[in-house]
Structure 1
Amino acid sequence: MINFFQNFTPIGQAFIATLFTWGMTALGATLVFATKTINQRLLDSMLGFAGGVMIAASYWSLLGPAIEMSADNAIGAWFPAAFGFLLGGIFLWGIDKILPHLHPNTPLSKAEGLYPKERKRSTLLVLAITLHNIPEGLAVGIAFGALANGGTEASLAGALTLALGIGIQNFPEGVAVSMPLRGEGMSRRKSFFYGQFSGMVEPIAAVIGAFAVAFIEPLLPYALSFAAGAMIFVVAEEVIPSSQEKGNKDLASMSLMVGFVLMMILDVALG
């Protein structure tokens, strides 16, 4: 697989990798063709698992490398990681306040953003997962864009591992959009379309992230930690609360730990 990716530029690599993550979102959405509903405990455990993967990826694939790259920073190796991390959280917080959206497992009355009551429930659910996918796409794109600044086979393996982890946790995201829509009476085809559509933003965000850091090397540690901060904000503000809202707190928490450990193993063993 590494040999295949070496035939492309870092921007092309990021685009191909996020086509895979988008495809995993679509794969999760295909469950609507098999059943109209999904067990709530299973859905909550999948959301918890996704949160664990995102937390682990934020450190091992993003913050850790950002700190290593900043060893010679005049202020301190901690500064780019701390600054970028907080900036990423603030950025997502701002989008969260503006973009109308509805978290999975949440009643329509609790929709967030500007003028959410003027939107359909289906639109709000898709926008919630789309918001979720922006930092994931950026993270993958930035990881591949770093290769333009002297990356090795090891760093390529790390970027591929990040894409693999993001892809795995995208599966329940497709389920989290498509299954509620199917349960409300929407056709299977439309439920699938909306479910996979939420992942479409990842290739776009990945190309933007890869392009930015590929040509502006000093931005790299800030960009890596920016993506980490954005992902952690999403986990804390959306994924964990959604996974526990129906009362399956212990199951969701243990699933989060399993997701964290799996991503940690993938990153350490492969990256």
Structure 2
Amino acid sequence: MFEWFSELSHVYQALIAGLFTWSMTALGAAVVFLVRTVNNKLLNTMQGFAAGVMIAASFWSLLAPALEFSEKAGQIAWMPAATGFLLGGFFIRGLDVVIPHMHAHASPGHQTEGRKSNLKKSTLLLLAITLHNIPEGLALGVAFGAIGHATGEGALMAAVGLAIGIGIQNIPEGTALSLPIHGDGKSKWQAFNFGQASALVEPIFAVIGAAAILLVTPLLPYALAFAAGAMIFVVVEELIPESQSGENTDLATLGLMVGFTIMMILDVSLG
């Protein structure tokens, strides 16, 4: 089934994976054609689920391989992982400061983050989710770029498992963006287009990540850890606070645990 896919270059594999995760976001955004509002219990649970997926992926799909590659290269195993992880967090923090954006469930006194601007609310919401999706695209790229340097035969399936996990958690992200934008007065088509557009950065950064690994092999453990650090920053700064912002904290926490478990199973069984 995956024979044709395995014969492609790793950059094309990363592109296809990024297009898949983008399509899952579009699927979630399409919910706006069916309903006008989303149940807060479901939304908070799915936000927790997304956080769990990203936490598990950060370790099993990114940090653990980074440590393994460093050790096999004769380096201090923790050095590239620690350096890349911190740089990934600082990178997203930098974007957070520079790019104006707004989270859907921001408190009234903290509506806009980043540089001051006169952008519309819908654009600010789009930029917030787009920032979230950049590390996911990078994670896909470095995971597929790392296949050529792996010693085991399960590297491709592990990368595919990562794409599946990210794709699953992208569905509620698309919904969480399109519904508030529609509720703010945009048409359903406009809300859908904003929702799906937020994930267009994923195939772009997936290609960038894979190409960087193929061109500069020594970057591999740093890049894997960089993507992990960027994802963890998003989880702690955005996903967990938003999932816990309502009255459904227990459901959100259970959703996180389920998401973590499913991603762990995907990575370990496929990898």
What TM-score bracket applies, with the shorter chain setting the length?
A: over 0.9
Percent identity over the alignment is: 58
**Scaled by the length of structure 1, what TM-score is found?**
0.96
Q: Distance between the aligned counterparts of 1:106 and 1:184, measured in 2?
A: 15
Give the aligned residue type for 1:182: H
Q: State the secondary structure of the residue aligned to 1:35.
A: coil
Give the aligned residue type for 1:123: T
1:28 maps onto 2:25 in alignment? no
Q: Distance between the aligned counterparts of 1:145 and 1:137, measured in 2?
A: 12
Q: Distance between the aligned counterparts of 1:255 and 1:213, measured in 2?
A: 33
Contact 1:44/1:242 (CA < 8 Å) preserved in 2?
Answer: yes
| Residue 202 of structure 2: aligned partner | 202
Q: Render the CA deviation track for 1:46-101: whole Å, top value 9, x for unaligned.
A: 11100000000000000000001111566621111111001100111111111111
Q: Distance between the aligned counterparts of 2:150 and 2:52, measured in 1?
A: 30
| Residue 82 of structure 1: aligned partner | 82
Q: Distance between the aligned counterparts of 2:160 and 2:73, measured in 1?
A: 27
1:114 maps onto 2:115 in alignment? yes
Contact 1:147/1:214 (CA < 8 Å) preserved in 2?
Answer: no
**Number of corresponding residues:** 270
1:186 maps onto 2:186 in alignment? yes
Give the aligned residue type for 2:197: F
Q: Given the superposition, is the C-alpha separation of residues 229 and 23 from structure 1 closer, same or farther in structure 2, using an over 3 Å criterion? A: same
| Residue 154 of structure 2: aligned partner | 154
Deviation at 1:153, TM superposition (A): 3.6
**Scaled by the length of structure 2, what TM-score is found?**
0.96
Contact 1:105/1:246 (CA < 8 Å) preserved in 2?
Answer: no
Bigger mean CA offset, 17-26 vs 73-82: 73-82
Deviation at 1:122, TM superposition (A): 0.5
Q: State the secondary structure of the residue aligned to 1:228.
A: helix
Q: Distance between the aligned counterparts of 2:85 and 2:55, measured in 1?
A: 13
| Residue 62 of structure 1: aligned partner | 62
Please list every run of 5 or more consecutive structure 2 residues that lacks an aligned counterpart in the other structure: none
1:177 maps onto 2:177 in alignment? yes
Contact 1:50/1:169 (CA < 8 Å) preserved in 2?
Answer: yes
Please list every run of 5 or more consecutive structure 1 residues that lacks an aligned counterpart in the other structure: none
Question: Cα RMSD between the aligned structures?
Answer: 1.4
Q: Distance between the aligned counterparts of 2:140 and 2:125, measured in 1?
A: 23
Contact 1:108/1:121 (CA < 8 Å) preserved in 2?
Answer: no
Structure 1 segment 240-255 matched on structure 2, within 5 A: 240-255=240-255
The runs of at least 4 aligned residues of structure 1 exceeding 6 Å deviation read: none
Deviation at 1:212, TM superposition (A): 0.3
